[in-house]
Structure 1
């Protein structure tokens, strides 16, 4: 018995072929857009708030920890870390 090979149609020259990882990324992006719109519509219908365009703010890596605001940031973050990992810091203190 001779096996016949299936003929796979070649893609047309006009249609770009995407690798599988790009297809997965594209599907994820589409899902995020669709679900984001549905969530926004739900909030709009439920709470009656209007959707507002917000300005895009670029993130910067510069963080000034000097001055009063910097001291407050360090204090609050330290307090949060100590509260969150209370047992860990207790074990380290007892070593």
Structure 2
């Protein structure tokens, strides 16, 4: 691999890192180095268990559980209990 290929690869990697950080809502200043960006990573918001659960179960999806408890009471959102045999099947409606 030539030096120019390596420089291009690093430039692409740097742009990808900046894009990933900015996709999480953290601004990357123009001309920031990779080291500068590493320091910005700590500013990326951490998602709660509830946010992850709701993102994994968009409106219209189902959640099966052995418990009759409404998942909305734990994770949020609005859920409807569907008739099912065996496990309780909840459908997210909002």
- Provide the TM-score with structure 2 as the length reference: 0.28
Work out which structure has the larger RCO, using CA pairs closer than 8 Å and 6 or more positions apart in sequence.
2
| Greater fraction of residues in strand | 2
| Greater fraction of residues in helix | 1
Higher alpha-carbon Rg: 1
